[in-house]
Amino acid sequence: MNDKVIQNLYLMQIKVLLALNPTMLFNKINQLDWYRNMLHRWIDLHNFHFEKILEAGCATGSLCNYLDDSGFSPTGIDASSSMIKKAKALNSNIDYQVANILDLPFDSEVFDAVISASLINIVDNKQLAINEMSRICKKGGIISILVPKQGFTDENLESLSNSLEISHFSKASLKTWHRLAPKMKIQEIQNLLSNAGLETKPPVYYLQNLVFSITAIKT
């Protein structure tokens, strides 16, 4: 079989997993180098000196595990009970909870940092989600959002895939994420954070501008 046929088979496999077993799919994607390295770089660039960190939309807990291994005290929440069940099975020492980003089950100002990757772009009430993240964050703490960037094209994707030297399932996963994940403008995220009374910092880019993050301080 040629490369195009093989790639189409992997794309079909991903579509089936997305429909029938999204928990398995997210767990597999979390283990891919391009995705894992992007999240680790996002965290490492902050040079956190905090302890209590909430990850909103933790999926199967890959990033929470990295935070735990790095000496932090992470809490992970996700709306999917199956994701949380898988996360707990992988690491029972981390506090995982099924929760809605629009109504977080925490008191105000209890976390040093609140982070969220690929979540704000898929929720309906984005401002309420940001407001809730800000509410539970301590003064002087940070909120950081990571989402796919609007304007990234299929041509950009091919260049990125070649530079990463990825193929098969990894390339198909990147392609699916690029095509299916809702993208956002930088100004849109900045406005959401500013509307919550937060002081935003300049954006940081990942994966050749496929993704960006914006961090804000709660003053």
Q: pLDDT by residue (tens digit) across 137-172?
A: 999 999 999 999 999 998 999 999 999 999 888 998
pTM of the model: 0.90
> What superfamily in CATH does domain 3-217 come from?
Vaccinia Virus protein VP39 (3.40.50.150)
Judging by DSSP bridges, how do beta strands 111-117 and 137-148 pair with one another? parallel
Q: pLDDT by residue (tens digit) across 44-81?
A: 988 777 789 999 999 999 999 999 999 999 999 999 99
Alpha helices in 21-167 (DSSP H): 22-30, 33-46, 62-69, 81-90, 126-135, 154-164
Sequence ranges of the domains in the chain = 3-217
Cβ-count burial 9-32 (b if 16+ within 10 Å, e if not): ebbeebeebeeeeebebbbbbbeb
In terms of Cα–Cα distance, which of 81, 63, 69 is closest to 146?
A: 63
pLDDT at 115: 97
Q: pLDDT by residue (tens digit) across 90-135?
A: 999 999 999 999 999 999 999 999 999 999 999 999 999 999 999 9
Q: What are phi and psi of 200, to 5 degrees?
A: -85, 150
Q: Which amino acid is at 47?
A: N
